[in-house]
Structure 1
Amino acid sequence: MLFTLKKVIGGMMLPLPLLLLLMALALLMLWLTRFQKTAKTVMTAAWLMLLLLSLQPVADGLLRPIEDKYPTWQGKKKVDYIVVLGGGYTWDPNWAPSSNLINNSLPRLNEGIRLWLANPGSKMIFTGAPAKTNPVSTAEAGARVAESLGVPRSAIITLDSPKDTEEEAAAVKQAIGNAPFLLVTSASHLPRAMIFFEHAGLHPLPAPANQLAVDAPLNPWERAIPSPVWLMHSDRVGYETLGRLWQWLKGSSGEPGQE
């Protein structure tokens, strides 16, 4: 119940639903109350915020400091395990396997396979519980896609019980102890994930995937025209900011290794 409540409240506080709620409030005030000036102010502010968060320079300017904390893993240190954290997924057996990994999940898996190939003899670990209406877990969906791309099942471990990053850290600790491993997750999620894993007594090597904030040149119109692509980048900033706030409330707010 607490997990579901956390997800619902957190989801409603992300940029798009929050700004739509403010616009709806402004419309109600315009039609049903005498607070016309206040309603116009709320509507204008919400519209302007939605516009700004949908522009590439603003969205990526907010996201880049979060993503840049850890560079892409190019290290030579041999590891025994590649831990790929779960993300969005579904499971439709009629689809191409990789189509079942939504948003951030497929880039995480791709980076995990790249690192697995660079570490012969290592095992891939996929984490994540099943969604309430799906008989296939997040971990199992990742494992099946990895198999379809050539990773043998004998090289895959699934941890099907964790529902969030904190539980994933505890499950990995129980499964492999203090063995060296690379921690693969989205670049925006990795700073928060490292805190959870360090607080679990582990020493992960950070391996970011799914970088979104663009530094390379773009066409001028791509920077100037609002787009749902850039709004999604702002959404990641909101999601991780709320996640860090939740860590702080639970007492795990510092950098890895700090209380």
Structure 2
Amino acid sequence: MGILNVTPDSFSDGGDFSRTDKAIIHAKEMIEAGVDIIDIGGQSTRPGYTEIPQEEELNRVLPIVKELRKITDLPISVDTYFPEVAEAVIEAGATIINDIKGLDQPGMGEVVAHYDIPVILMHSRYRNEAVDVVTDLQNFFEEKIKLCQQLGIKPENISFDPGVGFHKSVAENELMIASPEKFRFEDYPLLYGVSRKRTIAQLTGETNPKERDFGSIAASLYVLNKGVEIVRVHNVKGMRDALSVWQKLKGLQ
């Protein structure tokens, strides 16, 4: 999954692709590099972010979805927790909703169910400190499966993202990357988004987010080797090349 931030204030590439023309150029570069899913984000979720209104988020992402759908049949994911935004982008051709609030926003579950569309449910809540991080996330996943069952969301449309970096300690983030199998709920697919995050900085010492790609690719490759189905990355070519080499060498064993 290739990240296409169309925000002026993203922590890693803020402003680089906030114009539609620049965003489409970057999307074409990702397609050329072999991206499988393009994930469009119109709202920064960096630490301490200020939420923008849904109208502004929609104004950022909707033109990108429309233009992308003209040039590619690849799956288009939109990173949103606003049901009105989700409905509009689905109507425009988006095929996946990537919800960092995991259907906590009223009405989002009903939109996903109505359109019968895949959804990625992230854990971004404040941690329940009464239990360890594994138990906390397993409880969250179980809660969300029950909600999806009530809403009629099909099991095959559900994936989980444990939310590396969201209200978790350094040790908890490192555990999530080191042992993704502990954060799998039943047999639902997992998405991991570690690209350029502060956890990578803590592991490498690199303070510049744009210089964290090597560490990000290493961490993403590691979790793929541990069974994670989807990795969300900024550097699609680097990730694709690393994965290709790893798969070819593994096949020679």
The structure showing larger relative contact order (alpha-carbon pairs under 8 Å, at least 6 residues apart) is 1
Larger CA Rg, structure 1 vs 2: 1
TM-score by length of 1: 0.29
TM-score by length of 2: 0.30
Structure number with the higher helix fraction is 1
